């Protein structure tokens, strides 16, 4: 049974998601170590969500409780966030709901900005990490591989990917309301990862020309050379912050990289250097903007108290996202649902196979006994045996087809019960019905 424990921007505050996004140790292996019934786990942790996908070897309601228990215990061990703090901030999905949810997540339909493309890569990396950690399973492999296929189908067949805007671009669009001419803006970028590269491209699309970059980890020079920017050292960083009209942060640092103290240090340095250089102190009369795209937050909230400085963070961006960007197109949702149905159908067919095999074994056992009796009486040319085998094949066709039809509609247990009632066949390795878990186990 597949299970998903999900905390996202729809159910949890960003402060909590921050804490979940920086575990001290990988969470997925801790989940699988919880008990023998946990067959595998893959964890998708991004700025806007923390989700554990679990393969349980327990096809009844108890499996849901055990899976949630394993997840909450692993979260507490890896992040220090106790289960009581998660109450009301997560949902639990089971059975067929898991595939549809993950396919929608991978396609960007559940993101802060619908259609954003970063999540697809994050989902793929989650599976890769679980492979490296030895925590995945065959069913989770199938689930995540089909999720990538569904994402590509949505991207190639609908306008959701083209219409959707990344967090970076949406943040810049919100900033555009106060920027008349991007070419005159002094922009300071803090970070050198994938988000930073996307930010540079988005800034240049807007017309920004004066862009510098700083890296808390010391990679600014290499990134600047690659993208044609100016590198800012740690020593000159406070001054660069003060001079910038727009500061954009997107690092994975666990500590604040910009704070009110950074501005104070920068202004002190500028004012001290002014008499010696014959320059003038920085004009602080205009409004400055800081966009924080990091999670955990890169910018201390006290920046909002600095005179002339406005702070725009992920939570604010989410609240200002246009309504149409928060709703998936019908076409994209239909593709996701169809892909999920196919995934479940294949899985149910696999689960019903032991029952079909048991029926065929029973029937062919009876057939073999009858053939032996016919042979003992004398079957000239084997015609009677041939006729019997043809008859059995015809008779088995309908119950075999019906088995797959029932499995695809979630009624495999009815088929199995019928085999027991009619033929006394007990199927040892088959699927049983799964009670749908409540949506919110918090």
Which domains does the chain carry? 2-164 (3.30.460.30), 167-321 (3.40.50.720), 347-423 (no CATH)
C-alpha to C-alpha distance for 150 and 156, rounded to whole angstroms: 10
* Residue 404 structure tokens: 């797959």
Count of helices and strands (H, E) across the chain: 17, 10
C-alpha to C-alpha distance for 290 and 187, rounded to whole angstroms: 10
For residue 47, indicate whether it is catalytic.
yes
Give the DSSP per-residue string, 257-286: SB-HHHHHHHHHHHHHHHHHHT-------S
Radius of gyration of the CA atoms of the chain, in A: 30
Residue 179: CB atoms within 10 A of its CB come to 16
pLDDT of residue 76: 95
pLDDT of residue 170: 80
C-alpha to C-alpha distance for 168 and 288, rounded to whole angstroms: 18
pLDDT of residue 349: 58
> What is the SS3 assignment for 187?
strand
Q: Strands, E, within 319-426: which ranges?
A: none
Pairing of strands 91-94, 186-190: unpaired
Burial label for 261, CB within 10 Å (0-12, 13-18, 19+), is middle
C-alpha to C-alpha distance for 237 and 230, rounded to whole angstroms: 12
Q: How distant, in Å, are the alpha carbons of 39, 45, 78, 189, 332 from that of 105?
A: 23, 12, 24, 28, 12
C-alpha to C-alpha distance for 262 and 313, rounded to whole angstroms: 18
Q: Which residues pair with 54 in a beta bridge?
A: 3, 41
The phi, psi pair for 181, rounded to 5°, reads -140, 105
Task: Indicate whether this model's pTM tops 0.85.
Answer: no
C-alpha to C-alpha distance for 312 and 396, rounded to whole angstroms: 66
pLDDT of residue 222: 92
Pairing of strands 288-292, 309-313: parallel
Q: How distant, in Å, are the alpha carbons of 52, 74, 249, 252 from that of 25?
A: 15, 10, 25, 16
User: Comparing C-alpha atoms, which of 302, 236, 226 is closest to residue 266?
Assistant: 236
pLDDT of residue 255: 86
Q: What is the pLDDT along the chain (442 residues), one digit of tens a residue?
A: 899 999 998 899 888 988 898 888 999 999 999 878 899 999 999 878 999 999 988 655 577 889 999 999 999 999 999 999 999 999 999 888 999 999 999 998 888 767 777 889 999 999 999 999 999 998 899 899 999 999 998 888 876 765 555 678 788 888 888 888 999 999 999 998 877 888 898 899 999 999 999 999 899 999 999 999 999 999 999 999 999 999 999 887 878 999 999 999 999 998 887 665 555 555 555 689 999 988 778 999 999 999 999 999 887 877 776 545 444 467 888 899 999 888 877 766 566 677 778 888 888 888 888 888 888 888 777 888 888 888 887 888 888 788 767 766 667 778 778 888 888 888 764 443 333 333 343 3
Query: Is 112 within 8 Å of 6 (Cβ atoms)?
Result: no
Q: Which residues pair with 52 in a beta bridge?
A: 5, 43
> Of 37, 47, 250, 280, which is the active-site residue?
47
pLDDT of residue 186: 95
For the chain, the distance separating the N- and C-terminal CA atoms, rounded to the nearest angstrom, is 20
C-alpha to C-alpha distance for 138 and 371, rounded to whole angstroms: 41
Query: Is 249 within 8 Å of 290 (Cβ atoms)?
Result: yes
The phi, psi pair for 253, rounded to 5°, reads -60, 140
């Amino acid at each position: 049974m597949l299970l998903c424990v999900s905390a996202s921007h729809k159910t949890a505050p960003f402060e909590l998601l921050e804490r979940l996004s920086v575990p001290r140790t990988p969470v997925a292996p801790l989940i699988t170590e919880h008990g023998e019934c946990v067959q595998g786990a893959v964890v998708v942790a991004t700025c806007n969500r923390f989700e554990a996908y679990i393969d349980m070897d327990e096809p009844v309601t108890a499996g849901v409780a055990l899976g949630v228990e394993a997840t909450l215990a692993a979260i507490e061990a890896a992040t220090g966030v106790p289960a009581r703090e998660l109450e009301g901030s997560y949902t639990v999905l089971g059975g067929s709901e898991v595939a549809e949810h993950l396919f929608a997540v991978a396609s960007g339909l559940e993101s802060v900005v619908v259609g954003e493309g970063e999540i697809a890569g994050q989902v793929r990396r989650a599976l890769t990490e679980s492979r490296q950690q030895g925590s995945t399973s065959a069913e989770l492999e199938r689930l995540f591989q089909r999720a990538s296929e569904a994402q590509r189908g949505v991207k190639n067949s609908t306008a959701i990917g083209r219409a959707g805007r990344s967090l970076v671009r949406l943040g810049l669009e919100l900033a555009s309301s106060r920027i008349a001419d991007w070419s005159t803006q002094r922009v300071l970028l803090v970070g050198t990862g994938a988000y930073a590269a996307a930010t540079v491209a988005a800034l240049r699309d807007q017309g920004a020309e004066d862009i510098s970059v700083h890296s808390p980890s010391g990679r600014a020079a290499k990134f600047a050379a690659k993208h044609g920017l100016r590198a800012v050292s740690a020593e000159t960083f406070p001054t660069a912050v003060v001079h910038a009209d727009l500061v954009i942060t997107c690092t994975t640092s666990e500590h604040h990289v910009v704070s009110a103290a950074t501005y104070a240090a920068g202004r002190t340095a500028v004012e001290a250097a002014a008499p010696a250089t014959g320059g003038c102190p920085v004009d602080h009369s205009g409004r400055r903007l800081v966009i924080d795209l990091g999670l955990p937050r890169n910018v201390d909230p006290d920046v909002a108290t600095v005179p002339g400085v406005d702070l725009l963070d992920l939570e604010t961006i989410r609240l200002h996202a246009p309504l149409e960007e928060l709703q998936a197109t019908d076409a994209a949702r239909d593709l996701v649902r169809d892909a999920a149905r196919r995934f479940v159908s294949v899985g149910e067919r696999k689960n019903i196979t032991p029952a079909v095999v048991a029926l065929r074994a029973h029937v062919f056992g009876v057939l073999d006994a009858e053939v032996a009796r016919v042979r003992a009486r004398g079957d000239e040319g084997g015609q009677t045996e041939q006729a019997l085998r043809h008859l059995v094949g015809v008779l088995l066709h309908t119950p075999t087809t019906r088995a797959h039809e029932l499995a695809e509609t979630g009624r495999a247990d009815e088929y199995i019960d019928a085999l027991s009632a009619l033929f006394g066949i007990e199927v040892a390795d088959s699927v049983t019905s799964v009670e749908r878990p409540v949506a919110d186990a918090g």
